[in-house]
Amino acid sequence: MTEKSYRDAIRDAMMEEMDRDPNVLIMGEDIGVYEGTFRITAGMLKKYGPKRVIDTPIAEAGMAGTAVGMAMLGLRPIVEMMTMNFAIVAADQILNHAAKVRYFSGGQVDVPMVIRGPQGAGVQLSAQHSQSFESFYAHFPGIHVVAPATPADAKGMLKTAIRGKDPVIFLESAALYGMKGEVPDDPDFTVPFGKSRVAREGKDVTIVSYSRMLQLSLIVADKLAEDEGIECEVIDLRSLRPLDMDPVYASVAKTHRAVVVQEQWKPFGAAAEISASITEAMFDELDAPVYRVTGEDVPMPYARNLELLATPHEEHIVRGVKKVMYA
């Protein structure tokens, strides 16, 4: 184990996989000479050269679409989106092409590609640069959607994504890039998709989350335990598609109360899907309706005080926990 930042874990995963397999390459805007807006790709152009570290024009549809073609022909492209907000430009390439070609060809091709980049709010980037897209992508069959919350998962899940056979939307939290954590050194360390984990054990309330909100939920759980003796069990979903609900159900069977936490907007969001699944599967076990903690239903404002009002914070999770406890 070595302590690594979330950012370095992502870079390590890519470089180790590029060392391991010459078919892995990366492309994106300003990832080479400029070394990446978030410096995820620093040093990669120098090491692997321009054929494998491709600086592209500002053309997200071009990047995603060419990656689909490369993947169909046996390469394993990683597309870095400067932020996932820009990937909307490539929605047709991702949703109509990457996600569909295996199916409408009757399984004649694999499409092993990764589209990765940061998302989320918190640093006054306003309406077009602060969105979260997990429910948008997870709605569509034919792709995997993952959102790791720790450096170890970031590394292990990115390796799984790169080694896989399908398109993966790899959602990084920009706010977590600097976060440090223990990461296994084994170059073959991978984290499988579709395996939710219990991030913290507890008996009173189940909190379900992923990505940055998972970290926030853990902080809240510790505080509630210390201050009020409420023991929350926190489940890290890790991947939204495939979605592993079994640990959630097992936890709800124990706690009979659940809160789902997400950064994105409430309507039609990931928390709605999880809440509905819990209700469908565990109705008889529930002692309270499943509660959703989400961002406010507005485009992200620029002003710092308004941005803080628009995103979920510790007190919102605390309120959610108390709500399902009727406390």
Which residues are near other proteins by CB under 8 A? 25, 50-51, 56-57, 59, 61-62, 64-75, 77, 89, 92-93, 96-97, 101-110, 141-144, 164-166, 193-194, 242
Of the two residues 38 and 137, which places its CB atom closer to other proteins in the complex?
137
- Reading the block at residue 268, the tokens are 């039609």
State the catalytic residue, choosing from 17, 29, 97, 129: 129
Residues in the chain: 327
Catalytic residue, candidates 60, 80, 273, 307: 60
Residue 13 CB, shortest distance to other proteins, in Å, is 19
Q: How far is the CB of 1 from other proteins (least distance, A)?
A: 28
Nearest 5°: the CA angle 161, 179, 181 is 75
C-beta of 60: minimal distance to other proteins in Å?
Answer: 8
> How far is residue 167's CA from residue 194's CA, in Å, rounded to a whole number?
15
Distance CA(147)–CA(264), nearest Å, equals 13
Q: Which is nearer to other proteins, 35 or 110 (CB)?
A: 110
Smallest separation (angstroms) from other proteins to the CB of 67: 6
User: For residues 83 and 295, what is the distance between their CA atoms, to the nearest angstrom?
Assistant: 19
Residue 45 tokens, joined: 């152009």
User: Cα–Cα distance between 137 and 116 in angstroms, integer?
Assistant: 12
Q: Which residue number, 50 or 187, has a Cβ lying nearer to other proteins? A: 50
Nearest CB to other proteins, comparing residues 23 and 37: 23
CA gap 73, 23 in Å, rounded: 10
C-beta of 108 vs 305, nearer to other proteins: 108
**Distance from C-alpha of 126 to C-alpha of 228, rounded to nearest angstrom:** 36
Give whole-number Cα distances, 181 to 17, 192, 262, in Å.
21, 19, 22
By C-beta, is 52 or 257 nearer to other proteins?
52
Whether 262 and 270 have beta carbons less than 8 Å apart is answered as yes
For 173-189, give one letter per residue: b (16+ CB within 10 A) or e: bbbbbebebebeeeeee
Whether 129 is catalytic = yes
Q: Closest approach of Cβ 92 to other proteins, in Å?
A: 5
Can 233 be counted among the known catalytic residues? no
Alpha helices by DSSP H, listed for 96-139, are 101-104, 134-138
Q: Provide the greatest CA pair distance for the chain.
A: 60
Q: Which residues are catalytic?
A: 60, 129
